[in-house]
Amino acid sequence: MTPIALADLAALVPDGALLALPPDNSSSPCAFAHAVVRRGARGLRLLGVPVSGYASDLLIGAGCVAAIETSAVTLGEAGTAPRFVAAVAAGSLRVIDATCPAIHTMLQAAEKGVPFMPLRGVLGSDLVAHRPDWKVIDNPFAPTGDPILLVPALAPDIAAFHAVCADAHGNVYVGRRRELATMAHAARRTLVTVERMVEGNLLDDERLASGAIAGIYVEAVALEARGAWPLGLIGEYPTDFAHIAEYASSARTEEGFRRYLSRYVLAPHAAAAQ
């Protein structure tokens, strides 16, 4: 697989797509999110796997997002996600509440090619009443009443994440972040940015194969050094906490957010600002 330009990768995301993104501590594709903003995407439906952070907040603030399904939207130690909060207050964003186990289970159902999977831990919460697509039934294998929750399979249109490396066969190394593999297996298409391309075949290396996603699940790869910045990438570079704090402060107001976009996302020199 020959890497494509970052802008071309972003162009593969159609308006209105259901786009799955990993959390801030798991290979978030921030450079890709910047490119999607520059493309001017509209009407996206985001899926936080299982929570959302910087990339989602940025896309929401830029007007790219119509809806989000997630268990939380947060900037961690930097506080709440300001553009998400503003969009909810303005009524411009549809929010579909979920839980971390439910999101993982729905993706696992799609990964396995089954229409639903059972889940027990959410029972007893008020969330079930607000999710008409979730069904409670009696466990058919229990001798007496035993309620169990069924959640439907969820296949994102696109899964996107950043990774350490890929090879010419399209295999992508994600290490222990196996939720990225679940995303790729469940999604209809998977788009990846990587730090570097490597020689050989990752699946032929006994040490690396277990941490690799097979190229059959990957549609396209873009070579983008520091593509997770301002977030970190395990084993490569840490999160730029000062920058996340700057974003959190700037994005509290629409004017401050627009200044941030102009400096770090939209300007021709934005990549150099890293």
Using alpha carbons, list the distances in angstroms from residue 99 to 121, 130, 239.
Answer: 10, 12, 25
**Is the separation of the CB atoms in 22 and 177 below 8 Å?**
yes
pLDDT at 272: 45
Q: Residue length, the chain?
A: 274
Backbone angles phi, psi at 272, to 5 degrees: -70, -20
Using alpha carbons, list the distances in angstroms from residue 225 to 15, 51, 82.
Answer: 26, 24, 27
pLDDT at 185 over 60: yes
Q: What is the mean pLDDT of the chain?
A: 96
Using alpha carbons, list the distances in angstroms from residue 263 to 161, 224, 268, 269.
Answer: 23, 19, 9, 8
pTM over 0.85: yes
Residue 268 pLDDT class (50, 70, 90 cuts):
low
pLDDT at 167 over 90: yes
pLDDT by residue (tens digit) across 41-68? 999 999 999 999 999 999 999 999 999 9
Backbone angles phi, psi at 63, to 5 degrees: 80, 20
Residue 87 pLDDT class (50, 70, 90 cuts):
very high
As a CATH number, domain 6-98+155-195+214-268 is 3.40.1080.10
Write the single-letter amino acid at 87: A
The structural domains of the chain, with segments of one domain joined by +, span 6-98+155-195+214-268, 116-152
Q: What's the average model confidence in pLDDT over 99-107?
A: 97
Q: What's the average model confidence in pLDDT over 134-153?
A: 95
pLDDT at 267: 81
> What SS3 class is residue 265?
helix
pLDDT at 166 over 60: yes
Percentage, residues of the chain above pLDDT 70: 97
pLDDT at 274 over 70: no
Residues 6+ apart with CB under 8 A from 164: 173, 174, 175, 194, 195, 196, 233, 235, 236
Residue 16 pLDDT class (50, 70, 90 cuts):
very high
pLDDT at 207 over 70: yes
Q: What's the average model confidence in pLDDT over 255-262?
A: 98
Residue 121 pLDDT class (50, 70, 90 cuts):
confident
DSSP codes of every residue in 138-167: E-TTSSS--EEEEEE----SEEEEEEEEEE
Residue 142 pLDDT class (50, 70, 90 cuts):
very high
Q: What's the average model confidence in pLDDT over 177-205?
A: 97
pLDDT at 245 over 60: yes
pLDDT at 269: 59
Dist. CA 243–CA 193, nearest whole Å: 21
